């Protein structure tokens, strides 16, 4: 058995750990790195594991730093399932779709800023380099629909004309919708098969609704193997949420 961590170790986001037993490789969480835009974008776009070798994903809970790269995994030839509690599956339906919308909007805005900056330089005064207010208004009108949302078609055309690199979203709403088709929600304390001679059982972690401590049980070389993955643990005595499970 081998456990390799690719995020969430000595840092607080991007939770991702690969559990290898026999011929199975189980990914524990598939979280997004969060922080400064450039640094996080570089980490999130480089997926550290070949998705084709992953048997299944076990997801501890729905927070984006634990689930946010599932759409990236799903569109890279991953052929397994996302196994989690039923409430986590329901929560991811909202969070991943919202994440796709944020990714699309962020890329759209950054492309708009890049094109606007270029046009300012091209149309600015030769003497001062500045742009008149009326000329600035013309640029904004050209780049935005109804003066509000960036016009993606116009921006893409201008970026192509000027050989600019267009920023693409990490994943789209459609990617999130496709990823959600891979989710299997199961009840707490109900063993579910995740690999050959291997099961996972979820216990309440008390962190958010649906959060789980995962007890993975399997066999390797005729020997019984137990792995307990906590994810994030909640506090005791809180309203709404149950206390973290202490007995298995």
pLDDT, tens only, 128-185: 667 778 887 888 888 988 767 888 999 999 999 999 999 999 999 999 999 999 999 9
Q: Smallest Cα–Cα separation from 72: which of 3, 151, 6? A: 6
**Angle 209-78-69 (CA atoms, 0-180°, nearest 5)?**
45
CATH number of 1-248: 3.60.15.10
CA distances in angstroms from 1 to 6, 66, 175, 218, 227, listed in the order given: 17, 23, 32, 10, 10
Q: Could you tell me the pLDDT band of residue 83, with boundaries at 50, 70 and 90?
A: very high
Cα separation, 73 vs 17, whole angstroms: 14
Hey, where are the domains in the chain? 1-248
**Angle 215-216-218 (CA atoms, 0-180°, nearest 5)?**
145
- Residue 244 and residue 237 in contact, taking contact as beta carbons nearer than 8 Å: no
In the predicted structure, residue 11 carries a pLDDT above the cut 90: no
pLDDT at 28: 98
- Residue 171 and residue 165 in contact, taking contact as beta carbons nearer than 8 Å: no
Cβ-proximal residues to 36 (8 Å cutoff; 6+ apart), any chain: none
Q: Residues of 89-128 as b/e, b for ≥16 C-beta within 10 angstroms? A: bebbeebbbebbeebbeebbeebbebbbeebeeeeeeeee
């Amino acid at each position: 058995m081998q456990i390799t961590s690719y995020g969430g170790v000595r840092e607080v986001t991007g939770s991702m750990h690969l559990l290898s037993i026999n011929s199975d490789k189980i990914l524990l969480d598939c979280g997004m790195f969060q922080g400064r835009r450039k640094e996080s974008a570089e980490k999130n776009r480089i997926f550290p594991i070949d998705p084709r070798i992953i048997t299944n994903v076990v997801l501890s809970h729905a927070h984006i730093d634990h689930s946010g790269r599932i759409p990236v995994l799903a569109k890279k030839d991953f052929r397994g399932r996302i196994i989690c509690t039923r409430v986590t599956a329901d929560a991811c339906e909202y969070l991943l779709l919202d994440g796709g919308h944020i990714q699309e909007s962020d890329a759209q805005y950054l492309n708009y800023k890049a094109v606007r900056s270029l046009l300012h330089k091209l149309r600015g005064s030769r003497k001062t380099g500045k742009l008149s207010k009326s000329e600035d208004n013309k640029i904004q009108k050209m780049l935005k629909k109804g003066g509000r949302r960036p016009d993606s078609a116009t921006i893409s055309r201008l970026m192509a004309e000027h050989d600019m690199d267009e920023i693409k979203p990490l994943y789209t709403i459609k990617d999130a919708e496709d990823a959600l088709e891979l989710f299997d929600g199961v009840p707490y304390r109900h063993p579910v098969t995740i690999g050959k001679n291997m099961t996972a059982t979820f216990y309440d972690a008390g962190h958010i609704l649906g959060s789980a401590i995962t007890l993975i049980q399997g066999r390797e070389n005729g020997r019984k193997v137990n792995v307990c993955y906590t994810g994030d643990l909640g506090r005791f005595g809180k309203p709404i949420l149950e206390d973290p499970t202490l007995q298995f």
